A and B are shown apart, each in its own frame.
Chain A
Amino acid sequence: MPSVCFYFQVHQPFRLRHYTVFDKSVSYFDEFKNASICRKVANKCYLPTNRLLLKMIRRYEGRFKVSFSVTGVVLEQFQKYCPEVMSTFDALAETGCTEFIAETYYHSLSFLYSRNEFYEQVGQHMDLVKRLWGQTPRIFRNTELIYNNQLAETIESMNQFDAIITEGADRILGHRNSNFVYRPPNCKNLKLLLKNYSLSDDIAFRFSNRGWEEWPLDAPKFSRWIDSVNGCGHTVNLFMDYETFGEHQWEDTGIFDFMFHLPEYILRHPDNNFMTPSQVIRSYPVMDVVDVPHVISWADTERDLSAWLGNAMQSNALHEAYKMEKLVKQTAKSDIIEDWKKLLTSDHFYYMCTKYFSDGDVHKYFNPYDSPYDSYINYMNVLSNLRQRCKDALAEPTEVEQQAS
């Protein structure tokens, strides 16, 4: 009976350019690097995978379904650097087999630092999805699946969402598994969909690992694992970064073939099907309450906030950035406000992570800086320039005052 629920995260930050304390320019972002990374990943992942999914949706005549959360900042970059990606997303939206999920427009940690900014960014993202694809998202996912009871309460109080997506971390589930619909403790209507991290990571991380005992993974084998959920679960939530396809797992690993053949084997079992998150919560009852008093996320093995808030630099940079909110908004200047919001993207703080830094692991692969220290210095220099811009803007006489004099 299990339904397979795919959700893909699509995101690219606006990376900063090298910015020293002596720089006075107001262009903070590395246009060249952002454009080239965006085009590179588009060619390796976004374009081929979107086209593959379109082909699959057509081939299985609506029985294959997927869902996406596409951040505002990556959409801005698609529009600017590779608009052809936009048209493939449009085509996916038109199939009716694609659900779009809401999140913070800037892929930020605003929930932890400013409720006002959080509401603003969720609203911005909802507006964008509605404008682009005509859908009003009913499912919410927070940046990096960061979640606790408080987030559930906040989201329920917004009266716009039916469910939240988060990590199926062992420590919140205990003896239970992630393959059911759950509910947060103090919520009446809001439901929870939890990531099956084991099966998700088999695709996202282990697929090409030759040291893995299950390598090589093919569609029949994976389908058997899905079949075996039958009887102890309603839904298998396969949540992963979209860059898994073609970027983290290169084309020559066979990841595209695997994906293309997967529905064929999964749908062989008459009880199996594919569903979007909204369909899952409509189709299955809530099985239990999952209490999450402490913050969880989908990052690293710790599944906590330590990738963004693990050292003094990260916490300082975050505090300094959010401390500027009032000042920034007072200026009422759209360029300043937009720059500030782009600086809230969680990736900037992830680059400052010193965890595992000496070991040279996965954090390094995604990091445009040589070291977390360089990234902190760069970020603080930019922030300091932005602060000065705010002060200068506020010191300028307003038009009314100018006319009066």
Chain B
Amino acid sequence: MKRFSLCLVVVFLFFTIGGVAFAEIKNPDTYIYLSISEPDTLDPHFAYDTASGEIINFVYENLIAYKGESVSEFVPRLALEVPSAENGLVKDDGKTYVFPIRKGVKFHNGNDLTPEDVEYSFERGILFDPSAGPMWMLIEALFNYGTLEDFVADKLGVSWQDMFNEDGSLKNEEYAQKLVDFYNQYIDPAIEVEGDNVVFRLVRPFAPFLSILAQNANWSAVLDKETSISMGLWDGKAENWWKYHNLKKEESPLYQQAIGTGPFKFVEWDRAQQKVTLVRNEEYWGEKPKLAKVIIWGIDEWSTRRAMLETGDADQIYTPTQYYDQVKELPGVKVEKGSRITVTTMHFNWTVSKDSKYLGSGQLDGEGIPPDFFSDVHVRKAFCYAFDYDTFIQEVLKGFGHRVPSVVPRGLLGYNENLPMYPFDLEKAKEEFQQAWGGQVWEKGFKLTLLYNTGNEARQTACEMLKENIESLNPKFKIEVQGVQWPTYLDAYKQGQLPAFVIGWLADYPDPHNFIFTYYHSGGVYGGSQGQAFIDFAKANLNKLIEDAIAETNPAERAKKYEEIQKIAYENALGIPFYQPEEIFSMRTWVKGWYLNPMRPGEVNYDTIWKEE
């Protein structure tokens, strides 16, 4: 036995020899990027996360694309020209857009791109409109509705649920004709082929329309009609279109297949390894990529990612800013910095659900807060004054971030760094608390719980700093900071139980509407989560301004309208705009030609990057 174990040790050591040398470029024409997530789905009309978007973005193409790092200038892609009022391709005061379609473009299976493919792709997406998917953007832009089902219900006068049985069959055959008519009357004419052009008709001008279509926006990717139909996607007919509506994620035939016209072909999505492989499209119509192969690999553990960058087995890795110190001096590694269009803010729930566990006693007796605690503007202002913005950005974010006056991030129309901002001022916070609830808050004190989603250290620290500062004002003020897992957070958030929530938003398209509407309109994703009292406030003071601003076509006028909305947000302390984060990107020094477009999902421009020492 003794001899046997000795043998084992020898074998062990023997196998370990075969070490790897250092320094030369590993895998010279393959790019290996380590991310933390894998795609959710490869269906361009379902995907609504950056990990999916990253793949779709290089396999499929859109009509137009952003120019380099810009988010306001466009270049043509599958279209021959970018429509504008000057070239006559934007007509009817911004309600009609004409795209001449490029010829000689081939899909990865050899089929030719035609204008019909473009029309089909958009219509399929809109009819499909999966729950919690991205298609609402096009539906809002083209038809001014939130979802296809709302649109149908409004035009037909019957709700979707009343028309369909649980198994998806129609309750009454007479609805079939109505649905066919609906398609013919509204959907089909909105996107039409006219000769070599595809024409979009909007119900009203929608300023950010082009950015919803631009490359990086996977929901506007162009599919091959013939292949799609043969795979079992919508058959392109008015009859029975509803059978292709809102399928489950895994039921979409495009879930893990992708055939586009883009610079890379999709090879494989290894689900067990969370690894996606792409290869260069040798027949690509534009400039061919320099890389032959791209591997995008989800590795959750930071140390593993870092070690693989260090040895050169990876070319670039996802690096949260808290690990900056671990990569900045790594030999053979460089760190780039950049900002995306995103903000992190705290918002208040003006009418918390009464059964919430986070209100303490539920009354203003020093042991809790009433559900409508935050409907008093003095309370909200006091919170805004009590956050130490600069210390947070310097100490916690290590300088990777900056202040924003409202939810509109830097780089967008309507962003103005001269707009008023709440300074960190505990004296003022104290004054506001003394006025809140007719002086009762100061006299009796309060107790509430702030929740954060575990795993996000920056948000946790933000909550704790707020707690320290507010508790220092009055010994009767008590704030508990509690970390919970995402399911619990989601539950409390959806049930309206959170007195306040820290949340982020990453731009779907680079326009202030995407932020202003989301946070401040009563129908916005976050606007609708701030309680009934806020919804009433928004309906009375904000909704109309927001709707006017989006229909305005003159950019200077629009900017003014957005500034006005932001002033209302400031005066009424509609949330605490914590910061706009900056990101770091760590890669090997042999990576050449890297740049960041803030709207690009994922971190890498695989189509133009190369490796060279």
A and B from one complex: no
Measured CB to CB, the residues of B under 8 A from A are none
